[in-house]
Chain A
């Protein structure tokens, strides 16, 4: 087969796959008012899973659009196939309802992502990124597996709700298993202190893969954390709420402080994703219905902002054929008004400024923390947001505020090739980021319906 046809065919198939999956997820969401178990109670078909799947496949579809212009020389077919496989693994993962399917789903999408990270075999950074992710990720998976074994040992059950009804409360084995499960999921959500792989992997992986990981992996891991903890461990809530709250605070601290000194934009966004994991964990730690709603709402603009910002980075990268730093991002705002303004919108969204869903997300997260009576989590979130201003505004400063004398034209040979699909990705991301600010009610209704599948 000629290469152009392979590229066209596989990309189209992957895109169509994601769109169809989205349609089915919407149908499932619509038709499943009450959750029910499937296939020997190893899956739950409920609105929580359907909404998470919707966000994941939305991220996947945007990634296909973004990846088209990457114009890779080889492994075109593998790229799109693995992307679709990773998306499928995540939708499998978020509906898991026992520890076995949980682990299977995790490995499924992780293995696809390991390969995707190392896809640019001619770039050392990409190989390094794949290797790091493979080693650290497998370590995380094995901790999760070990934890599952301990929980099974303590309760004799692997189904989430059966674990809950086993009512084993003060059992060291169970507590150790719970801790290891949280750690294992923390690796995937890149919450500190399980985030060490994040900056290196995000930096080295092909930018479209990074975008997909930042958006979709986070959705899958956090939704699963919520489901697992709320469904399987209601009796241990005193333990895990505090643990998650501590992890949230550590993530906020580590993510924001480390991001302050980054020059590479992908690394900066990687640390920013660690800090956002912290925000979303606040919602989980609240352990109330409002918290679940907050998490599910937050994920929507967050996913869009992540994909969009990495798409802008990708555009700049293709133009310069070099890693994007705060220095060579300079002047993008004036050279490419659309990309610049969009990046500005994404940064505002990450900061939690008005006209973006980021503000409403933070508002809901803080509300959930207040309802749980954890005012100190609000204080931590506020301080973290204040710190984060510095580096997000650093990006805006690079885009617009650099003195003209410091700027050099990006490339000598005229303007870069137009990439309408990348622009479409960015435009859609902006639309979701801004739209989720104006149309909060419909999204919150979705989130509320999804959260209703959990036993609060």
Chain B
């Protein structure tokens, strides 16, 4: 089952690359595969017992002398992260089909490949396998930004790849040391370690991926130069690989160093949260605001994880899913605005609400949920996180709460700069409202956000088995 979830998009990618179909047909095929993936995920959920630990396992020895195996399976929380992946990826592929760039076959194949490798990251139960999927994500992203990106894409890809690879190569060294000292690379069988260097190797890789201050140098350029649907996947889903890694490897396998460094990590996350929020308030275009808000949210999620209590970790998972959906819909909406105006800079925008009620409504809903208005799923997530870090010290939740205020400021600024104020020079009167196909792309995201807002417990009650909490993750103290 889990293997099928990984293989389906990878196989579909191969088919899309090899079959000499016209771009449209290839895109449709890709979309069908992505929808099939969503269905497959739903089937996996229906057979999943959220009160148990690791399930839907597939295991196969890969090379036995070092104890490396192909071992995949789901925990409750990783099932939600995978669900986020398949939904956001399917919607992004639909968007790509609608936007119809050149070299469609290559493009859609790469998107499917990316989907498969992200799902792989969330299921891997072996360190080397995790590394394989973690790195495999980079291959399509590099080309997706490098070929189809904006004018400064070469710089953006170079920065992105150098940052991430520097982090992940340190992780490879850490994996070798950890695995050989444990005599197995299996995450399920290995015990805990108290080696600070190995711990830092893992932490750094995920800190770059998330990103956590001060490793965010790649962030804005990558998000601004990507095609909108790639930016949606990057910020919505790929960054969650860091959440999985922090939870499944760093927190579960390094209890002593985590406790020792908890204060420092929380401090960096808090600084990043405030810093990103302030930058978001100054940023000149939709994409940059969304990028900084993404960094702020990832900092908040990291705070939740490193509160090391059940509330905080539950909140981090809820917030991961919420932020993934919000970020994806904001980037896709930014893409739609860009297609109409040719730019996402606030200087050229404004007054788009007039005559475009649907666009205004969608952007409004996503923006309002993003700023964590009470009653929204983002509010639920942030509340849990703040309650979690309150258990560590009230100061952390005070600073965290002030970030919510900052989030309101930059999100409202974004909404008013795009929709309200005077009509911007780049906005033409005849540029149309959201088309039906676009509506079909964004509405599922917004609808999911509304459903989760009504029922956030669907995630928070199910991420970890009730009686065990996050200790159900093997090795967690």
Residues of A in contact with B (beta carbons under 8 Å apart): 293, 334, 348, 353-355, 359-360, 362-364, 366-367, 370-371, 375, 378-379, 382, 385-386, 389-390, 393, 396-397, 400-401, 440-441, 444, 448
Contact = CB atoms under 8 A, between A and B. Distances in A.
Given A367-B176, A378-B173, A400-B146, 12 more contacts: A293-B65, A354-B133, A354-B136, A370-B177, A370-B180, A386-B162, A389-B161, A390-B162, A393-B142, A400-B143, A401-B153, A448-B65
Nearest to B153: A401
Contact of B166 (A375, A386, A400, A444): A386
A382 B169 CA distance: 6
Main secondary structure of the interface of A (DSSP, over half): helix
B176 A366 contact: yes
A-B pairs, 5 with minimum CB distance: A354-B132, A440-B63, A401-B146, A366-B176, A354-B136
Given A371-B180, A382-B172, A441 B62 contact: yes
A223 B136 CA distance: 31
Nearest to A366: B176
B294 interface: no
Given A389-B161, A441-B64, A401 B147 contact: yes
A363 B172 CA distance: 8
A389 B162 contact: yes
B459 interface: no
Interface residues of B, number: 36
Contacts of A363: 128, 172, 176
Contacts of B132: 354-355, 359
B55 to A, nearest CB: 25
A173 to B, nearest CB: 39
A375 B173 CA distance: 9
A444 B65 contact: yes
A397 B162 contact: no
Nearest to A438: B62
A440 B176 CA distance: 17
Contacts of B142: 393, 396
B65 A375 contact: no
Contacts of A382: 169-170, 172-173
B139 A353 contact: yes
Contacts of B177: 370, 375, 378
B66 interface: yes
B154 interface: yes
Interface of B: 61-66, 68, 103, 128, 131-133, 135-136, 138-139, 142-143, 146-147, 153-154, 157-158, 161-162, 165-166, 169-170, 172-173, 176-177, 179-180
A301 B108 CA distance: 29
A441 B63 contact: yes
A371 B161 CA distance: 30
Contacts of B68: 440
A355 B172 contact: no
B136 A397 contact: no
Contact of B169 (A360, A375, A385, A444): A385
A359 B65 CA distance: 16
A386 B128 contact: no
A402 to B, nearest CB: 9
A401 B144 CA distance: 10
Given A389-B162, A389-B165, A444-B63, A348 B139 contact: yes
A441 B135 CA distance: 22
A395 B9 CA distance: 27
B261 to A, nearest CB: 21
24 contacts: A293-B65, A354-B132, A354-B135, A354-B139, A355-B139, A363-B128, A363-B176, A364-B66, A366-B176, A367-B66, A367-B176, A370-B177, A371-B180, A378-B173, A382-B169, A386-B169, A389-B161, A390-B162, A393-B161, A401-B146, A440-B63, A441-B61, A441-B62, A444-B63
Contacts of A397: 146, 154
Contacts of B154: 397, 401
B16 to A, nearest CB: 13
Contacts of B153: 401
A448 B63 CA distance: 12
Contacts of A348: 139
Contacts of B166: 386
A400 B140 CA distance: 12
A441 B143 CA distance: 31
Nearest to B120: A354
A385 B65 CA distance: 25
Contacts of A359: 132, 135
A401 B136 CA distance: 19
Q: Which residue, B61, B142, B166, B173, has most C-beta atoms of chain A within 10 A? A: B173
A403 to B, nearest CB: 9
Contacts of B147: 400-401
A355 B136 contact: yes
Contacts of B179: 367
Nearest to B146: A401
Contacts of B138: 353
Nearest to A293: B65
Contacts of B66: 364, 367
B450 to A, nearest CB: 38
A441 B69 CA distance: 10
A400 B147 CA distance: 7
Nearest to A289: B65
A360 B66 CA distance: 11
Contacts of A390: 162
A354 B70 CA distance: 14
Contacts of A293: 65
B215 to A, nearest CB: 15
Contacts of B139: 348, 353-355
Nearest to B169: A382
Contacts of A355: 132, 136, 139
B62 A440 contact: yes
A34 B164 CA distance: 47
A163 to B, nearest CB: 31
A266 B170 CA distance: 30
B123 to A, nearest CB: 15
A375 B157 CA distance: 31
Contacts of A378: 173, 176-177
Contacts of A448: 65
A456 to B, nearest CB: 14
A401 B176 CA distance: 33
A448 to B, nearest CB: 7
B146 A366 contact: no
A361 to B, nearest CB: 12
A379 B173 contact: yes
A390 B180 CA distance: 29
A440 B60 CA distance: 13
A386 B165 contact: yes
A370 B147 CA distance: 39
Contacts of B173: 366, 378-379, 382
A254 B136 CA distance: 28
Nearest to B177: A370
A397 B135 CA distance: 18
Contacts of A393: 142, 158, 161
A444 B65 CA distance: 8
A400 B148 CA distance: 10
Contacts of A440: 62-63, 68
A371 B65 CA distance: 13
Contacts of B63: 360, 440-441, 444
A396 to B, nearest CB: 7
A172 to B, nearest CB: 38
Nearest to B113: A355
B133 A401 contact: no
